[in-house]
Amino acid sequence: MPGQRKLLIVIAGPTAVGKTSMAIEVASHFESEIISSDSRQIYKEMTIGTAKPSKEELARIPHHFIGSVSIFEPYNTGMYERDALRKISELHDKHDIVIVSGGTGLYIKAILEGLDSFPEVPAKILEKWVQHFREHGLSFLQESLQELDPDYYAIVDRANHRRLIRALTVTDASGTPYSNFLSRAPEPRPFLAHCFTLVRNRETLYAHINERVDMMLEKGLMEEVERLFPHRHLRALKTVGYQEFFKYLEGNITYDEAVRQVKAHTRQYAKRQMTWFRNQGTYMSWDADDISGLIRHLSERVRKLTGLQPDINETYEKE
């Protein structure tokens, strides 16, 4: 896009891969700010279990959409798209480069392309699938989606019955797989986007996930879960890291089993995130430990894409 000077750098990837530290270093180098694209870190009441950036990290670089919404307030991807685009526009008035960092693929897609348009679902079809869920459970929804739309089944959070029902009802109502509606033409945006997926060896990533869960527990995750337990019916809390410990507090599983499930479910979630970003086709894979290399690469790309001449941080140039 000739003459366009504003740039959005997207640093995405699976949970525990190192997005926060990478984004902070990139934002520091370009003297910019960070837009969070994490659909759980956005909630005020969920801190330890969502691995929010530390107070020191938040103090170092301004972050937006971290703890900005209450679990008691209605919030969805459409609202995030509106709010994030508004904030990006404000930040681009001050900075030629803005950083987006997070692992919620749908949030990033909303920023870059806009939300997809879906057909209306008749109430009878919605009730039919809700009833299937009540009578046959989550596995029935999973098996149905795998048969009707294997492409979306490969990337969806299969533990989230609402997303499964949404996909199944749209597929049922339209006669077309839900995934087909995820490929419409992107909305034009007033910025250039340069997108990266951070990667690690899978065994290393899974080890980081297990260590992170242990660290969360040391920091007081159970106390946070206990505070939120009375509100466990809320949509925001139906997520990995909370649901498992809610089961423990309800007496349905042991503490050790809850810990095991959190680690296993987080690893499964990370795998789905990797599949999502790999299937987008617009992300460059980058070694999560190669911070200096990414900054050098971005400095060159910024000059080529936008004609900007950012200051080069000598610390990274010498490494």
Q: Is residue 68 part of a domain?
A: yes
pLDDT at 179 over 90: no
3-state secondary structure 163-212: HHHHHHHHHHHHCCCHHHHHCCCCCCCCCEEEEEEEECCHHHHHHHHHHH
DSSP 159: T
Q: Residue 203's Cα: distance from chain center in Å?
A: 21
State whether 42 and 149 are in the same domain. no
Please list the helix, strand and coil fractions of the chain in percent, rounded to the nearest 5, in that order. 55, 10, 35
Residue 171 maps to which CATH number?
1.10.20.140
State whether 163 and 284 are in the same domain. no
Residue 270 Cα distances to 105, 128, 157, 210, angstroms: 12, 31, 10, 12
Distance CA 167, CA 149 (A): 8
Domain boundary among 159, 182, 205: 182
pLDDT per position as a tens digit, 185-216 = 677 899 999 999 999 999 999 999 999 999 99
pLDDT per position as a tens digit, 126-145 = 999 999 999 999 999 999 99
Indicate if the alpha-carbon torsion angle 152, 82, 162, 250 is positive or negative.
Answer: positive
Would you tell me how many other CB atoms lie within 10 Å of the CB of residue 203?
A: 8
Residue 64: its pLDDT value, please? 98
State whether 147 and 190 are in the same domain. no
Rg (CA), the chain: 20
CB of 159 closer than 8 Å to CB of 138:
yes
State whether 69 and 129 are in the same domain. no
Structural domain count, the chain: 2
User: In the structure encoding, which two tokens stand for residue 160, read together?
Assistant: 């989230």
Distance CA 200, CA 295 (A): 18
State whether 84 and 175 are in the same domain. no
State whether 151 and 200 are in the same domain. no
Q: Is residue 151 part of a domain?
A: yes
State whether 54 and 65 are in the same domain. yes
pLDDT at 247 over 90: yes
State whether 80 and 155 are in the same domain. no
Domain boundary among 138, 159, 182: 182
State whether 38 and 159 are in the same domain. no
CB of 249 closer than 8 Å to CB of 223:
no
The full length of the chain comes to 319
Residue 240: its pLDDT value, please? 95
Distance CA 178, CA 148 (A): 9
Residue 183: its pLDDT value, please? 60
* Tokens 């789905």 -> residue: 272
Q: Residue 1's Cα: distance from chain center in Å?
A: 28
State whether 127 and 246 are in the same domain. no
pTM of the model: 0.80
Q: Is residue 2 part of a domain?
A: no
Distance CA 78, CA 133 (A): 26
Domain region containing 234: 7-116+184-317
Q: Is residue 222 part of a domain?
A: yes
Residue 65 maps to which CATH number?
3.40.50.300
State whether 241 and 298 are in the same domain. yes
